[in-house]
Amino acid sequence: MPMSKEMVTPGPLKGRLVLDMSRVLAGPWAGQLLADLGARVIKIERPERGDDTRGWGPPWLEDVVGDPVEAAYYLCANRGKQSLAVDITHPDGQVLIRELAARADILLENFKADGLRKYGLDRASLAERNPRLIYCSITGFGQDGPYAHRAGYDFMIQAMGGLMSVTGDPDGMPMKTGVAITDVMTGLYATIGVLAALDERERTGRGRHVDVALLDVQVACLANQALNALVAGRDPQRHGNAHPNIVPYQAFACADGYLVLTVGNDAQFARLAALLGRPEWASDPAYATNGARVANRERLVPLIAECLLCRERDTWLSAFEEQGIPAGPINTVSEALNDPQVRHRGMVASLQRDDIAIPQVANPLRFDGDSRTSPMPPPALGQDSDSVLREMGLSDDDIARLRREGIVG
């Protein structure tokens, strides 16, 4: 559904200024969340081509005559921001960033560790003028350690961080997830970190350097699988669409398609057994408890699979819902976006930029029933450069000179 500025009340971060000097996904994701929460976010981009993801297409968003405008990838993580195109390698560009940082509450960056020091835009340099600045560095491996100098990308971090080893079919190749989940989770952790630092600053008056590493986040997000390894003293194995700790908790084939069955406790299993015409399973010591079902999954799962093949998917799903047995269809992305519950919750939205409608997936947060999705569409490259620079006190002649010299775009 289309959104207007009237649809979104001022957010809890209204009045806060964020400089988003990050690119690609993890940092921009954090910047978009802060914008959704009401902060003013100025995206700092290179004048010549901007964020790398502007060119990561197809697919492309097209204008009214069918010409490509921007890649869908860029549009997923830059809602609610202004775009200021500045060449930070030029001394005059560095002056502009330092001036903005002196006024900012939060700065996000994802350059290599210490990569901004040569420009005088590192945390120590900027904190001299603005000790209240919360400076968040997002890197592949953190600010210290033997890998600190390396670049890090989501795919390789999923591999190094153990996620791929537990993803995929048992007899197949380890697999990455279909979404750059480590980047997304790193953006979430970065947001949590800067918000905690912002709260602390109310008491101390001083900012923090928040250090967030993709590898750290990936290891942290191994969750139960990490503890499975630490407690058992051996590596978890891939189970495909099954669960290492719960049975039955996996995908099954039906007569005409697939569904996911997620039985989370023994009472649900008893209802499932009755529905499948095998009520004796609920009292069988081999299946009555989850621990027993995990130990005997090789016997039990084929029996359940045989039962489910006898009826159509939607017939089973209706029966499961009636009995309070958690289950769901395996939707395509388009089916998920068009699901009645997803649509009812307003998770698919549209923002207008000039004469182009830009589709968006909404922020899932609601405050007092109001969506926390910014009504501002992802910006065109440098679309706000002039207004931001004028606000900083530069004259039109100053701006024209900077643009002639390629320092701003």
Cα 311 from chain centroid (whole Å): 37
Candidate list 183, 199, 339, 398, residue with the active-site label: 183
Of 224, 221, 276, the C-alpha closest to 245 is 224
Q: Is 114 designated active site?
A: no
Write the CB contacts of 90 (distance below 8 Å, at least 6 apart in sequence). 405, 406, 407
Contact assessment for residue 106 and residue 16, using Cβ atoms and an 8 Å cutoff: yes
Q: 30, 136 in Cβ contact below 8 A?
A: yes
Give the whole-angstrom CA distance, residue 4 versus residue 7: 5
Q: Which residues of 48-77 are buried (b: 16+ CB within 10 A; e: fewer)?
A: eebbebbeebeebbeeeeeeebbbebbbbb
Are the CB atoms for 264 and 320 separated by under 8 Å? no
Which regions of 168-288 does DSSP assign to beta strands (E)?
209-213, 249-253, 258-262
Helices (H), 265-383: 266-275, 290-295, 297-308, 313-323, 333-337, 340-344
In a 3-state reduction of DSSP, which class is residue 332? coil
Sign of the CA dihedral running 291, 293, 299, 301: negative
Separation between Cα atoms, residue 138 and residue 153, nearest integer Å? 11
Instruction: Return the active site residues.
Output: 183
